[in-house]
Amino acid sequence: MLLHLSTWPEIEAFLERSRTIVIPIGSNEQHGPTGLLGTDWLCPEIIAHEAQKTADILVGPTFNIGMAQHHLGFPGTISLRPSTFIAAIGDWVRSLAGHGFDHIYFLNGHGGNIATIEAAFSELYVEASFVGRPRGFALKLRSWWDLPGVSELAQRQFPVGHGSHATPSEIAITQWAYPDAIKHANYAPQIAPTGPIREALDFRKRFPDGRMGSDPGLATPDKGGELVALATAALIADIAAFAADPVFGL
């Protein structure tokens, strides 16, 4: 069930049977010479939208801009400051918690988001923790590649050249979902370098075409489909386990 294609009475009815919601969250940022700028928000959106086709899961709108400051040296990247990102996640959660959702699950598509999303969760919890009152909801962050079995499959598919940014696994997923948007380029070197992540100018100097440790040329739509199938099943199970975990203090 997609929230944005539902009406408010339909959500009101859903809340009668479940108080859990899934928010795909990612980033809009360069993904090397052939990766789509939307890769990191498209991947969790693709997986979550697949999941709700077969399970009674409510999927909210996609949070499509995250923390990508290090990629700003490449055109098309859009980033929030961490402080803005924290404020915005806070308002999404405040809105949803006000409706009675008490298990809010963020399916993440960007490693660079993780620290700030965790900080945003703490920023929400601390309002209650300072005053010794219950907040009454549980927040969970899960990156799609951390769903059980997914990174193992990716390592089997891409034993060499997976890397950490513009990886063949994420590009394969977008190829499967958007076959008309498959791009090609020569990669030089075939496998990109690795190194630390700092400010944008430093990043572009270290990673001239935007890739980190990866060879996106290995991606195929079929491998993307395998990843989506496995991730979708794992997501459904992961949400069920989360929904069953109590929130103490209520």
Q: What are the backbone dihedrals phi and psi of residue 19, each rounded to the nearest 5 degrees, phi first?
A: -120, 30
Check binding of 181 to a copy of itself (CB under 8 A).
yes
Concatenate the DSSP letters of all residues of 21-43 into one string: EEEEE--B--BTTTB-TTHHHHH
Nearer to a copy of itself, 56 or 152 (CB): 56
Q: Does 34 bind a copy of itself (CB under 8 A)?
A: yes
DSSP structural state of residue 214: -
Q: Which of 160, 237, 240, 247 binds a copy of itself (CB under 8 A)?
A: 247
Residue in the block written with tokens 């195929």: 220
Q: What distance in Å separates the CA atoms of residue 185 and residue 217, rounded to the nearest whole number?
A: 8
Q: Does 53 bind a copy of itself (CB under 8 A)?
A: no
Instruction: Compute how many residues bind a copy of itself; rule: CB under 8 A.
Output: 96
Report if residue 240 touches a copy of itself, rule: CB under 8 A.
Answer: no
State the nearest-atom distance from the C-beta of 81 to a copy of itself, in Å.
5
CB 144 within 8 A of CB 153: no
Binding to a copy of itself, residues 73-112 (CB under 8 A): 73-84, 86-88, 90-92, 94-96, 98-100, 112
Six token digits for residue 187: 């990669």
Kindly state the smallest distance separating residue 225's Cβ from a copy of itself, in Å.
18
Minimum Å gap between C-beta 191 and a copy of itself is: 19
Q: Which helix (H) or strand (E) holds 131?
A: helix 114-131
Contact 68, 79 (CB under 8 A): yes
End-to-end CA distance of the chain: 28
Among 49, 153, 183, 220, the residue binding a copy of itself under the rule CB under 8 A is 183
Q: Which is nearer to a copy of itself, 117 or 230 (CB)?
A: 117
Q: Does the footprint of a copy of itself cover residue 206 (CB under 8 A)?
A: yes
Between 125 and 213, name the residue whose CB sits nearer to a copy of itself. 125
